[in-house]
Structure 1
């Protein structure tokens, strides 16, 4: 019999109405064990549950929150065969990507899931998502860190939230799902190859502003956003890595930031894209040491990977080298 450990972090699935809106407070433990008795072949003694303290709305998640989940997973590593993490949907894609980098040597499947509606409502998708995640855990086919939602299983570092209300609220723009639930489930090839990371240091919080370019933005605004100097910067650029290069001083600001030793990571605003620095004249200034492209990574995978690499104490050149190399399958074809 497969043993499953569940880590409950908070989120909509276990929330209740209050005068201040939805807050954690439902009897998640009782609901989960009743669900297992009614809708699975698992015995309750084969399922353990940790409720993290404090339970949070995932909008309040931080890198330290990711580390709390990682610590709980490792604490139960030897007593379970598969793991399910119940998480709020707002930042679940960030957490899934963060876990994928830190758990390359975990050798157990980890499936994240949650719901768009609380478990106590008649319209809730909680039961479908939790039973789907458990079925994925029991399948023997899930690998690494994945996310189950709306009848689809996705690689954890390839997924993004696409809707705040639809039951199929997540997608993997560049790769598609690795499985779709049904009778029977349909599985695609799970390409999660990467170089891995042995004995990673814990996640820490760093000052990493995210700058989204929009038509008409001025260089003075960027200058204010990077003063004082941050630990790193993520630029959400146009297309394959273009910025408003005709804006006086914009290209120079970015170049000076990189020259000062601050890692600059360039990602695209397009959900499906491949960053190619210098491909267009508007992005030529970005093709220089200290500035690294995110290739075809999602924004969530890019941001959390940068946090992971900073937490390892790497130099700017090593950060850029690893951004271009796959740790856990977050890049196409294992990195370029």
Structure 2
């Protein structure tokens, strides 16, 4: 083993430089990392560095990139104590959630991080995130995909980006942080997943297979049908109100959903609310959704539901199997 850790740089603000139209990814970030962090790296685990080519602005990320990352991790994981993935913040939580399923049974850490300000800026949050992620990626107690940001380690499939401009860009609304890194490192070991045997899933996800529809007042059955009627759409995430409520008295609404489920499409109900869970039996509107086969997504984030559906579809599960698995916690994604 040439080093203790592997750092995979995918792109994102952390390594961007100003270009003619604004910040853009540039190759050669390893040199800047080693020059800027210098002697501070001496107390941390040694690392090798891989840079994707081309680099990805995370706003351009598609589910196909997840398989590329999993293949890279599968190729190298046994050589290292842990892996750090540098990623743009816009879709970082989507990647973390998807990888948590695609790398099920991890026996070492895979830590994603990024920054709100590029490393090349004199004032930035990138340095602390890099140093913290390197420290955490060597911890033998961690056996899962996690996000390190602003002094907190969050379970990868429990996190969401909640602020575009603050340093505390990520939160875990329905689950405590796995660790905090302040003067000391405080691990919440009782929350960590146990070590497993990695079962990598490199199957390529079809970007068109999962759609998301956030409910709004006046959403018609025709608009719902327009989404469900797309040929490649095999699953739909409905971001419903509160604990899972929807305008089921609108003409054709329930009939449209019932027909989609009967045709083998998976429809999952998650809440628009930042915190809380779907409890369909609370109100008659939620119960009506459940009666026509809409699956309650419990307290999953949008990112977790999205990544989990893509993973299950890529693995070839039937609609009935997916309906059961979406209601069961696979790797700590729901309460």
TM tier, smaller = over 0.9
| 1:187-212 superposed Cα distances (whole Å, 9 cap, x missing partner) | 22324369988453523124222111
Q: The residue matched to 2:53 in structure 1 has which SS?
A: strand
Q: Report what 2:203 is aligned to.
A: 202
- For the 8 Å contact 1:102–1:197, the answer to whether it is kept is no
**1:54 lines up with 2:58 in the alignment:** no
Q: Relative to 1, partners in 2 of residues 1:303 and 1:195: Cα closer, same or farther, differing over 3 Å? A: farther
Q: Of 246, 254, 274, which residue of structure 2 is paired with 1:251?
A: 254
Structure 1 residues 253 and 57, CA, compared in 2 at 3 Å: closer, same or farther? same
Q: What is the alpha-carbon distance in structure 2 between the residues aligned to residue 325 and residue 198 of structure 1?
A: 18
Contact 2:277 2:298 in 1 (8 A): yes
- Alpha-carbon separation, structure 1, partners of 2:196 and 2:84: 24
Task: Compute the TM-score of the two structures, normalised by the length of structure 2.
Answer: 0.93
Deviates further, 263-272 or 213-222: 213-222
* Cα separation, partners in 2 of 1:287 and 1:197, compared to 1, 3 Å: farther
Q: Which runs of 5+ in 2 are unaligned?
A: none
Q: Does 1:68 align with 2:71?
A: no
Poorly superposed stretches of 4+, deviation over 4 Å: 193-197
What does 1:77-88 align with in structure 2 at a 5 Å threshold?
77-88=77-88
Alpha-carbon separation, structure 2, partners of 1:264 and 1:87: 30
Q: Distance in 2 between matches of 1:26 and 1:186?
A: 35
Q: Does 1:140 align with 2:140?
A: yes
2:332 pairs, out of 326, 329, 333, with 329
1:317 is the counterpart of 2:303: no
CA distance in 1, matches of 2:288, 2:27: 52
Partner of 1:14: 15
Please identify, of 148-157 and 61-70, the stretch whose mean Cα deviation from structure 2 is larger: 61-70
Give the Cα–Cα distance (whole angstroms) in 2 for the partners of residues 203 and 276 of structure 1: 32
Give the Å deviation of 1:288: 3.4
Provide the residue aligned with 1:24 in structure 2. 25
**Cα 1:48–1:284, aligned 2, differ >3 Å: closer, same or farther?**
same
Q: Equivalents in 1 of 2:195, 2:227: separation in Å?
A: 34
Return the match for 1:288 from 288, 291, 296: 291
Q: TM-score when scaled to structure 1?
A: 0.92
- Inter-CA distance 215–197: structure 2 relative to 1 (3 Å threshold): farther
The 8 Å contact of residues 290 and 317 in structure 1, kept in 2 or not, is answered as no
CA contact (8 A) 1:195 1:328 kept: no
Where structure 1 has 5 or more consecutive residues not aligned to the other structure, the ranges are none
Shift of 1:265: 1.0
**Which SS does the other structure have where 2:282 is aligned?**
coil
Deviation of 1:59 after TM superposition, in Å, equals: 0.9
| Partner Cα separation in structure 2 for residue 70 and residue 297 of structure 1 | 22
Please state how far the C-alpha of 1:36 moved relative to its aligned partner: 5.1
Q: CA deviation at 1:312?
A: 0.7
C-alpha contact 2:105 2:195 (8 A) present in aligned 1:
no
